[in-house]
């Protein structure tokens, strides 16, 4: 299978790793186990090959909410948000996800692998292909990462090539407390302020992100692995989503954007010390830009 997709995507794994045909088998309904049965099993072999599901790996402000929205428009996909981070049990989405499931909350705190398996079991009768977002730093070094690697779970890696863009977006979103703007709910927020960027802080950010990327590419070197870029998702959504559906072994379906781009001004107008930052980026292209 060609995973280069006309140069828009590249792969950190090995070409052999895909099984012939689709990654995902034809969905056949079967009896669903109770939460108690699954929680008690804890499955001794914690890493059987898991090609039914996928994980979206990225960092904040890289377009993952936009991509999740596109994925969830497909009739066969249910992609969850940041369900693995520790604070998720206190977020709005927890109640919708778990209901009153005390067992699920306990697993989220003590056994993320069983939490994930239970979630898949619960939802796969509705949607045969289950996915979720995880940021590089969520539950870092915990067992869930090793499980995704050893089970060969398919990985979609989303990157925003110019790290100044994700850094700036993160600073602005944190400043106004609005992290997404749905298309149907126009809030009028337009990031109309300018900010000065601390060069040392930006450099540390770039170093951290590059370290995370190197780590996950090494960890998932044997997984089915598809890397896509934010720019390709925005500029050529149809081709990008078609490549993702092909990677997941699913037929193509049309999607439409459901979020509004929050930053409407050029970054040169937003960053008050842009000349200093631009000079640093030009001299440190290998650090600040993901090629």
Which of 116-120, 143-147, 241-245, 261-265 bottoms out in mean pLDDT, i.e. has the lowest? Answer: 261-265
Does residue 186 form part of some domain? yes
pLDDT exceeds 90 at position 218: yes
Helix (H) or strand (E) run with residue 155 in it: strand 155-159
Distance CA 111, CA 113 (A): 6
Q: What is the pLDDT of residues 150-180, one digit of tens each?
A: 999 999 999 999 999 999 988 887 655 444 5
Does residue 8 form part of some domain? no
Contact 103, 37 (CB under 8 A): no
Does residue 133 form part of some domain? yes
Whether the model pTM is above 0.75 = yes
Does residue 144 form part of some domain? yes
Does residue 70 form part of some domain? yes
Q: What pLDDT was estimated at residue 13?
A: 40
Among 99, 100, 119, 95, smallest CA distance to 39 is for 119
Does residue 3 form part of some domain? no
pLDDT exceeds 60 at position 277: yes
The domain containing residue 160 runs over which residues? 15-39+47-288
What is the number of domains present in the chain?
1
Does residue 10 form part of some domain? no
Task: Indicate the average pLDDT of the chain.
Answer: 80
Does residue 97 form part of some domain? yes
Distance CA 50, CA 222 (A): 13
Domain harbouring 148, CATH code? 3.40.50
Mean pLDDT along residues 106-119:
91
Q: What is the pLDDT of residues 228-252, one digit of tens each?
A: 999 999 999 999 999 999 999 999 9
Q: What is the pLDDT of residues 9-61, one digit of tens each?
A: 444 443 334 433 444 444 444 455 455 554 444 444 444 555 569 999 999 98
3-state secondary structure 219-273: HCCCCCEEEEEHHHHHHCHHHHHHHHHHHCCCCCCCCCCCECCCCCCCHHHHECC
Distance CA 21, CA 210 (A): 33
3-state secondary structure 21-79: CCCCCCCCCCCCCCHHHHHHHCCCCCCCCCCCEEEEEECCCCCHHHHHHHHCCCCCEEE
Between 79 and 90, residue with greater pLDDT = 79
pLDDT exceeds 80 at position 8: no
Q: What pLDDT was estimated at residue 185?
A: 52
Confidence of residue 191 (pLDDT cuts 50, 70, 90): low
Q: Got the DSSP string for 77-145?
A: EEEE-STTSGGGGGSHHHHHHHTT-HHHHHHHHH-HHHHHHHHHHHHTTT-SEEEEEEETTTTTTSHHH
């Amino acid at each position: 299978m060609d995973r280069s997709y006309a140069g828009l995507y590249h792969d950190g794994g090995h070409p052999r790793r895909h099984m012939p045909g689709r990654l995902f088998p034809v969905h056949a309904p079967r009896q669903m186990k109770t939460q108690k049965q699954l929680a008690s099993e804890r499955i001794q072999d914690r890493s059987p090959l898991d090609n039914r599901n996928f994980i979206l790996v990225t960092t904040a402000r890289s377009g993952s909410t936009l991509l999740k929205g596109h994925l969830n428009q497909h009739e066969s996909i249910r992609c969850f948000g940041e369900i693995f981070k520790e604070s998720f049990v206190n977020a709005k989405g927890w109640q919708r996800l778990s209901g009153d499931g005390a067992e699920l909350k306990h697993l989220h705190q003590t056994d993320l692998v069983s939490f994930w398996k239970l979630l898949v079991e619960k939802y796969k009768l509705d949607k045969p292909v289950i996915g979720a977002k995880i940021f590089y730093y969520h539950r870092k070094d915990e067992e869930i990462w090793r499980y995704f690697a050893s089970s060969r779970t398919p990985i979609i890696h989303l990157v925003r090539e110019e790290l100044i863009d994700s850094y700036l977006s993160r600073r602005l979103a944190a400043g106004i407390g609005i992290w997404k703007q749905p298309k149907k709910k126009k809030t009028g927020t337009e990031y109309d302020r300018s900010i000065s960027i601390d060069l040392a802080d930006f450099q540390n950010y770039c170093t951290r992100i590059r370290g995370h990327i190197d780590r996950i590419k090494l960890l998932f070197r044997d997984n089915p692995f598809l890397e896509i870029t934010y720019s390709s998702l925005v500029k050529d959504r149809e081709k990008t989503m078609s490549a993702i559906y092909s990677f997941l072994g699913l037929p193509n379906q049309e999607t439409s954007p459901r979020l509004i781009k929050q930053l409407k001004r050029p970054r040169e107008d937003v960053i008050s010390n842009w000349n200093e930052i631009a000079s640093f980026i030009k001299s440190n292209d290998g650090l600040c830009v993901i090629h």
